[in-house]
Chain A
Amino acid sequence: MKILLIEDEWAFRWIFRDALEKESFEVIEAEDGQQGWELAQSAEPDLILLDLILPRLHGFEVLRRIQSDSRTREIPVLLISVLDQAELVKEGLKLGAREFFVKGLHTSHHLLAAVRRLLEKNEKIKKP
């Protein structure tokens, strides 16, 4: 399973990559919103981990583009942010993100559980 990780902070990329690779996921990385959107279209990921505050293209804008493009719309998106304000969570879910991961509150263990849950759910939708 291929996970696209869109995150500008190298320490977080490191943290998430280590946890995901330990569980045998293939991880591809993007360091800003624009690069992330390009990889979302070209790399055919099974799931996208999307940071909110990103250079070049805000996370919500990347999410909007993912949701409005038929090639990427079905890919589950998990938003990841250090910010956890209710209006951001609400907006993110409204725009089509499946879950909201709060850095500092949730751990890699929680992230892996959420990733597995979303992939499983998406498989069920694809193969009813």
Chain B
Amino acid sequence: MKELDLIRDIKILGNKLELLESRVPANPEQDELLEGLRQSLEELHAAQEELESRHLELLAAHEMAGAERRRYESLFQHAPFGYMITDVHGLIREANDAAGLIFEAPPEYLSGKPISVFVADEALRSFRVKLNELQRDTIVNGWEVTFKRRNGISFTGSVHIAAEQRRGEEMCLRWAIRDISDKKNFEEMKSDFVRLVSHQLKTPVAQVIGLVNNMLSGYAGEIGEKPKQYLLEIERICRRNLSLITELLNVSRVERGAIPLRLEAVLLSELVEPLLHSYRMIAEGKGLALTTRAEKTGILVTADVSLAGEVLKNIMDNAIRFTERGEIAILMKEEEHTAGVVEISDTGIGIPAERLAGIFERENVLAGPAKPDGGTGLGLYIARKFMALQNGEIGVSSEVGTGSTFTLRFPLHKKAGTS
């Protein structure tokens, strides 16, 4: 080190000066020169001491930096989740051991590869879109991505990203990735179980409806007026039972808090489309017009497709059941840059004011009078719960004899950085 060389040189210079003083005979002119040299040497000694103290400080700082670095490396390497540093395009610069374990590839294999090679094909497009959205100092939390390991097996990862730009350096992305497949699988098992129960309970009822309906359509030969009335009643009861099965399964899931939530960015029109598919035929069969209108296209909201679907179905079921003539109109719009709104309006019998107030409350349902249609009345309570789970809202306005309008508000999807 330069400092050490300098200190050594000063010592050598001091020794040489002493040697010179002892060998050279007394001479006033030379004495003056020697005195000048002695003074310079003392100044150099002072500088030497200062340097030595600085040097010790530097050594201590250096050791501390080394210890910090080792601590950081240890944290980085032994973190319980995959930790990676990439450039803005997702090119991996560093990866820890856990990242290697997650992707079943050694960290040195990961380094230099784009992270997208580990994203499952079906998730690649949305992954790239999100990556492009990342700006300086943005943070992404709990982004679920379907990755694939080096051996091709896919898994769900929960991703945390911090975008960082230090002065004079290019922006880098710090990734923390956790494998949440087990949690996901458990949630899927629960969903599959509810689906299985739903399937097993609904199938026999749907079969009776199908058989009765065929008889009513004359596929089993001519039937008289009285049997026809009986069959119509059987069909009505069975349809009610189908709704009951759905409502009871949903309410039991709500009460147990057993609703797996899968929030994603989805177009409002994508939520409405499956609904149109199922209900257009029903509405037309009843002589009702089913219209849709969008004030704006491309309204992107954050919602759970399954839960939103259940809410929309419930509203649509009611609209068709309580409307004898006229139309059911679906309107999609954006509200104050905060919400994507679906309004479903009907020209049905409407809801009396005294029932309107607590229509979404469970207590009101249980304490209230028997419902005119023989239903549980739990559908709207479930609808409100499902909307709340998605950070959304449900509202209603209605006038007896004119019709009802149900309004569903979903939060607009915010781009990366605020998620």
Residues of A within 8 A of B (CB): 9, 11-12, 14-15, 18-19, 22, 53, 82-87, 89-90, 93, 99-100, 102-110, 113-114
Contacts and interface: CB of A to CB of B under 8 A. Distances in A.
Contacts of A11: 207, 210-211
Contacts of B202: 82-83, 103-104
A29 B312 CA distance: 34
B270 A90 contact: yes
A115 B214 CA distance: 16
B198 A89 contact: no
Given A9-B203, A11-B211, A110-B285, A18 B198 contact: no
Interface string B199-221: 10011011101110110010110
Given A100-B278, A104-B239, A114-B281, A86 B309 contact: yes
Given A104-B205, A108-B214, A86 B281 contact: no
Given A53-B199, A85-B306, A86-B274, A18 B282 contact: no
Nearest to A21: B219
A19 B214 contact: yes
Interface of B: 195, 198-199, 202-203, 205-207, 209-211, 213-214, 217, 219-220, 238-239, 242, 270-271, 273-275, 277-278, 281-282, 285, 305-306, 308-310, 312-313
A15 B199 CA distance: 18
The 5 closest A-B pairs by CB, nearest first: A86-B309, A104-B206, A89-B274, A15-B210, A11-B207
Given A9-B203, A86-B274, A86-B310, A106 B282 contact: yes
**Chain A binding surface, main DSSP class:** helix
A22 B281 contact: no
Nearest to A20: B219
B270 A82 contact: no
A90 B308 CA distance: 13
8 contacts: A83-B202, A85-B310, A86-B309, A99-B277, A106-B281, A108-B210, A108-B214, A109-B285
Contacts of A103: 202-203, 206-207, 209-210
Contacts of A90: 270, 273-274, 305
A106 to B, nearest CB: 6
A68 to B, nearest CB: 14
Contacts of A87: 305-306, 309
A31 B59 CA distance: 81
B157 to A, nearest CB: 21
A104 B47 CA distance: 96
B306 A18 contact: no
Given A9-B207, A11-B207, A86-B310, A108 B219 contact: yes
A22 to B, nearest CB: 5
Nearest to A113: B281
Contacts of B206: 12, 82, 103-104
Given A100-B278, A103-B206, A108 B308 contact: no
B242 A19 contact: no
A86 B312 contact: yes
Contacts of B309: 85-87, 89
B207 A93 contact: no
Contacts of B281: 106, 110, 113-114
A43 B311 CA distance: 41
A18 B214 contact: yes
Contacts of A104: 202, 205-206, 209-210, 238-239, 242
B332 to A, nearest CB: 16
Contacts of B217: 19, 107-109
